[in-house]
Chain A
Amino acid sequence: MRGVSKVYGQGPTAVHALWDADLSVEPGALVAVMGPSGSGKSTLLTIAGSLEDPTRGEVLVDGASLSQMSRNDKARLRRRSIGYVFQDFNLLAGLTAVENVTLPLELDGLSAKRAHAAGMQALDELDLSDRASRFPDELSGGERQRVAIARAVVGDRLLLLADEPSGALDSINGEAVMRLIRAACRRGVAGVVVTHDAQLASWADRVVFLRDGRVVDQTSPPPSPETLLAPSPNS
């Protein structure tokens, strides 16, 4: 994202949800965006995912500018290259786990057979093969979120966008979700997680702090974690 601003409304009632935001995420890296409610986190994510257009500035995915794309091109990019994980999972209740995962591939024109194979592989990587034919209401909260992550990483995704991905899960299941997102990024996906939760954010390579729509700060690359375990001088 380069110099991205988003203004809702006009004149004296205009709200600046984002203000001149710059953010870049390399393939294989995970960036967390932290900020309080109303700081612009979700707006940043929807613009990065081409679900919304910025008022000013430019968004590039794999070098291609979204502003230069037609609506159809953007829709194709969303289906093929961008995976989303939402706080409330957003699984379709009438589809099984594997059907939820394969839906974006089939919408993109992949044959049902190939889509099913890719979906089963994604579920298998998240240890969910035996839940493939269950419906969302037959799964636990943790399993539903793993299905949502499988849907977000299935196929050859370039970008994974997650909005408070641990939702209402407890800390152990929340950690499991972050381990999966982290693993997807290690395989070459660029990941962005927006959250107000420092424990989730601490899984990222870099944490960006958002306040009133502006990027106000970011973490430096941390020193080797082994420094935490340095022996005390008298040992």
Chain B
Amino acid sequence: MSVRHALLALLSEGPKYGLQLRQEFEAGTGEVWPLNVGQVYTTLQRLERDGLVESDDEGTDGPQKGFRITAAGEKELVGWLRTPPDLSSPPRDELVIKVLVALWVPGVDVHEVVQVHRRYLVELMQQWTHLKEDAAETDLRFVLVVDAELFRLDSVIRWLDAADGRLRRAAVESPPRVPLPLPKRRRRVGVRP
């Protein structure tokens, strides 16, 4: 989550005070991402240092200090909105690693491991769905955030389902796994830290 760009976006509507920025940030993200006031002022100071915002008064700090976006700030914001996040290499996903590791450990039923995680994820989705059910229809930003979380969790469950199915099929079609000799070459796949 780029607090820096979210603050630039709020300032693109017009000049604002620091506390006001914090309130509008939390309201605008469905109050799902709480933001402390120190984070707001630290970020504003860095934006000012980089020439992306400017403040009313050089001499005073505090809640009455107003900020406005500069032309360079507007250019930065527009460029950021259209820059895709780095999804080109797979993240180091802890759940994927757990399932892969479970295949090595003698006596561990990988399907049972998959089910433990599937159940946990469905329980999380139930909580998010209950929040959505209770949300007012007008609370569009909140519902968008909840949808994003539901789709993310759903995609993890779909991966678990596919992994479960592939492992069952592999168990039927292939002989039991025997330890392999050390590979001569390793395939390299880029991994985001």
Contacts and interface: CB of A to CB of B under 8 A. Distances in A.
Contacts of B118: 209
B131 A225 contact: yes
Contact of B35 (A36, A199, A222, A235): A235
B102 interface: no
B167 interface: no
Interface string B9-50: 000000000000000000000011011100100000000000
Interface stretch (A17-25, A42-50, A151-159, A226-234): A226-234
Contacts of A229: 31-32, 131
Contacts of B124: 228
A164 B67 CA distance: 53
B129 A202 contact: yes
A227 B150 CA distance: 16
B161 interface: yes
A198 B122 contact: yes
B64 interface: no
Contacts of A203: 129, 133
B126 A222 contact: yes
A204 B133 CA distance: 11
Interface string B55-84: 000000000000000000000000000000
A209 B115 contact: yes
Interface in B114-131: 115, 118-119, 121-131
Chain A to chain B: the 5 pairs with minimum beta-carbon distance, closest first: A202-B125, A235-B34, A202-B129, A225-B127, A235-B36
Interface of B: 31-32, 34-36, 39, 115, 118-119, 121-131, 133-134, 150-151, 153-154, 157-158, 161, 164-165
